A and B are shown apart, each in its own frame.
Chain A
């Protein structure tokens, strides 16, 4: 029994849309294992969606497929109304690993995404440098531009990775557990920063995470994956935020229910009882 309370509101305005995606592992054309089945999603402008699920349900794969970095087994992805075949210039991806190139300075890492031919209108060096500086300033690292990645802490490296994404002025941010490797203090700082910059840029964002609190603090909509192969087992739209730039207060009831649904740190997952979900939705709405 699944509860699907909401799958977006009307297709015309969605900036990113996934239709009946199937994900899995294939070898020599044969399907070895399907990890995600029949998954659909619509990301609206300025919306932040968190996809919650235990490890191993293909959340990272899903994000790579949505980013156009790999094709799905089944179904299709549309970015700004067009079929996604390759990474879109207006989509920025932040991975769990900051993946800074160790031989480039912080500034040169941020500039990296601005000079490729596929961006069409290639900016000259001065514009690139100005954009990189602004992005680093936004994440509070303007003073670290000359450092090498080896000289950064984990939290700083992830902020540089976010700056590299922001410098391209993306309209959609796709984030794959971007704060999972950080300690609690830097994670809280990064979450506040993310919510603020996404609101500031007027961008939409899709965040993949297994951290319930992170999902509830950041997202306007929370989507739960579970089962094997995983499917969408629940989707909750949270009330409109009073301050889009600030973290949301976490509803204890919704948190408790998601915790129960995810199981003990997500090894198993259960369908959410319909009546419980309805009751909680009434409470948060």
Chain B
């Protein structure tokens, strides 16, 4: 049997043909770059077209914007703002993960908890977090605290929903199996439930990162004196239009990188958890 088993192995494993997949990936990459180039061209056209009626539009084209972006980055003028913004995103994401996973597991495990909370959660989820801004400032004061609150309350819903969906998608057979192997509740949680829902948590986390990054900019326009949102208002006040456009470009690029990181994490740790 041993020999037969080893001999059967190559036939049983599906052969991977790499060449067509690679070609498709390269093609997709080329198209993606082409799309970005078209976007740049449209931007340039718009800046030129508007320059006739609005003179400052001339400073807002891709040329001046990338020039400012380069000099600001090289001069280290963006460093503090980038760090401030990323710190806010990551910290509020951590808060949202800590709360969201606990709530999500409870909601996913218990029909009762699900029914009890679903109405309230759907209601809260539909309220733009920015509506809480005055209340957040009143409760948490001026500074970083209300920003953390607003971002965390934004990020918590996709994580709760993702975690709950993950728990519901767990194969009950896995739990029966680890029990038959002698696992207690804690061991079952650690070896089956958590790894089994990791993919869903990371999917929820990726959605959360996107939402938090979008909300971060308006949040940073009130009551704080650092971050990329603050930089936008500040450059407007200084009439530094090319720097304003540079900040917008940077926000887009950092957002792409954050999403890419979230996607990468999911591919590394979550991809096999529910196949």
Q: Is A270 an interface residue (CB 8 A)?
A: no
Instruction: Please report the C-alpha to C-alpha distance between residue A103 and residue B274 in the assembled complex, in whole angstroms.
Output: 8
CB pair B6 A87 closer than 8 Å: no
Q: Is A118 an interface residue (CB 8 A)?
A: yes
CB pair B181 A116 closer than 8 Å: yes
Residue of A nearest to B2 (CB): A140
Say how far B186's CB is from chain A's closest CB, in angstroms.
9
Q: Is B12 an interface residue (CB 8 A)?
A: yes
Question: Could you say which of A67, A139, A142, A189 contacts B180, with CB atoms under 8 Å apart?
Answer: A67
Q: Is B46 an interface residue (CB 8 A)?
A: no
Instruction: Please report the C-alpha to C-alpha distance between residue A89 and residue B183 in the assembled complex, in whole angstroms.
Output: 10
CB pair A139 B1 closer than 8 Å: yes
Say how far B18's CB is from chain A's closest CB, in angstroms.
16
Residue numbers in A under 8 Å from B174 (CB-CB): 99, 101
Question: Could you say which of A95, A113, A143, A192 contacts B6, with CB atoms under 8 Å apart?
Answer: A143
Q: Is A141 an interface residue (CB 8 A)?
A: yes
Instruction: Please report the C-alpha to C-alpha distance between residue A193 and residue B35 in the assembled complex, in whole angstroms.
Output: 58
Question: Could you say which of B5, B173, B182 contacts A141, with CB atoms under 8 Å apart?
Answer: B5
Say how far A100's CB is from chain B's closest CB, in angstroms.
9
Q: Is B79 an interface residue (CB 8 A)?
A: no
Contact pattern, A 190-206, Cβ under 8 Å of B = 1, otherwise 0: 00110010000000000
CB pair B182 A89 closer than 8 Å: yes
Residue numbers in A under 8 Å from B196 (CB-CB): 101, 103
Restricting to A85-121, which residues have a CB under 8 Å from any CB of B?
87, 89, 92-93, 95, 97, 99, 101-103, 112-113, 116-119
Q: Is A152 an interface residue (CB 8 A)?
A: yes
Instruction: Please report the C-alpha to C-alpha distance between residue A116 and residue B177 in the assembled complex, in whole angstroms.
Output: 13
Q: Is B179 an interface residue (CB 8 A)?
A: yes
Q: Is A159 an interface residue (CB 8 A)?
A: yes
Instruction: Please report the C-alpha to C-alpha distance between residue A139 and residue B3 in the assembled complex, in whole angstroms.
Output: 10
Residue numbers in B under 8 Å from A64 (CB-CB): 176
CB pair A95 B177 closer than 8 Å: yes
Instruction: Please report the C-alpha to C-alpha distance between residue A99 and residue B8 in the assembled complex, in whole angstroms.
Output: 22
Which of B82-90, B187-195, B251-259 binds A?
B187-195
Q: Is B4 an interface residue (CB 8 A)?
A: yes
Q: Is B136 an interface residue (CB 8 A)?
A: no
Instruction: Please report the C-alpha to C-alpha distance between residue A10 and residue B1 in the assembled complex, in whole angstroms.
Output: 37
Residue numbers in B under 8 Å from A143 (CB-CB): 5-6, 9
Instruction: Please report the C-alpha to C-alpha distance between residue A102 and residue B272 in the assembled complex, in whole angstroms.
Output: 6
Q: Is B131 an interface residue (CB 8 A)?
A: no
CB pair B272 A87 closer than 8 Å: no
Question: Could you say which of B8, B173, B184, B275 contacts A95, with CB atoms under 8 Å apart?
Answer: B173
Residue of A nearest to B177 (CB): A99
Q: Is A210 an interface residue (CB 8 A)?
A: no
Residue numbers in A under 8 Å from B183 (CB-CB): 116, 118
Restricting to A142-175, which residues have a CB under 8 Å from any CB of B?
142-144, 147-148, 150-153, 156, 159, 164, 168
Say how far A63's CB is from chain B's closest CB, in angstroms.
10
The residues of A with any CB-CB pair to B shorter than 8 Å are 64, 67, 69, 87, 89, 92-93, 95, 97, 99, 101-103, 112-113, 116-119, 137, 139-144, 147-148, 150-153, 156, 159, 164, 168, 189, 192-193, 196
Return 12 A-B CB contacts under 8 Å, by A number.
Answer: A69-B179, A99-B173, A99-B177, A101-B192, A103-B273, A118-B183, A118-B184, A139-B5, A141-B5, A143-B5, A153-B12, A156-B12
Since A102-B274, A103-B198, A118-B182 are in contact, a sample of 11 more A-B pairs with Cβ atoms closer than 8 Å, ordered by chain A residue number, is A67-B180, A87-B181, A92-B180, A93-B177, A99-B177, A101-B174, A116-B182, A117-B187, A118-B184, A140-B2, A140-B6
In the A-B complex, list the 10 residue pairs whose CB atoms are closest, starting with the nearest.
A140-B5, A113-B181, A118-B182, A93-B180, A140-B1, A99-B177, A153-B12, A103-B272, A140-B2, A116-B182
The residues of B with any CB-CB pair to A shorter than 8 Å are 1-6, 8-9, 12-14, 171, 173-174, 176-184, 187, 191-192, 195-196, 198, 272-275
